[in-house]
Amino acid sequence: MERQLEKQVMSVLVDNHAGVLARVVSLFSRRGFNIDSLTVSATNNPALSRITIVAQGDRVGMEQVIQQTAKLVETRNIVALDTSRSLLRELLLVKVEADETTRGSIREIAVIYKAKIIDLSVKSMVMELTGEPSKIDAFLEVLSPYRIIEMCRTGVTALERGSGSAEVAVF
């Protein structure tokens, strides 16, 4: 019987100290999880950082790695986000080959997806797009007939909708 793999988005609040990210990531790697996306940033509380992790795995394995992450001394809170009740965003920078014959059609695509053209040269165009990962994927699919010179994606960052907060008091 084949294991059913699920994609899970986790939000982890940790102490803002050197080495914490390495300890959290090592838990995932020791359990054999490949991290699809990883973002880390400071929060409104300078003592805390938020790590957003997107990984795939079977349900039991995910539950185990979440429990192990919660047990780390530096972990203040970990939440497996319900993506239907959360806001997920990603930033894309993409440089596309664009000359006078293709520039207009690429610009039309940018307008439709609400991408910003942030640099333009004789031979290329750089666009910025922020949105849900599925929007980024769709934009790249539509751009696929054109030569992508370079691109960079930030990875997913996420918050739950509503007035609740995943942050906790620092002890």
CB 134 within 8 A of CB 83: no
CATH architecture for the domain at 6-81: 2-Layer Sandwich (3.30)
Q: Do domains 6-81 and 87-157 have the same CATH topology?
A: yes
Q: Alpha-carbon distance 26 to 118, whole Å?
A: 37
The CATH number fitting domain 87-157, selected from 3.40.50.620, 3.40.50.800, 3.30.70.1150, 3.40.190.10: 3.30.70.1150
Tens digit of pLDDT for each residue in 99-121? 999 999 999 999 999 999 999 99
Handedness of CA 61, 18, 9, 166 (dihedral sign): positive
Q: Alpha-carbon distance 69 to 29, whole Å?
A: 12
Question: Is this prediction's pTM over 0.85?
Answer: no
The helix (run of H) or strand (run of E) holding residue 135 is helix 133-143
User: What ranges do the domains of the chain cover?
Assistant: 6-81, 87-157
Tens digit of pLDDT for each residue in 3-60? 678 889 999 999 999 999 999 999 998 888 889 999 999 999 999 999 999 999 888 8
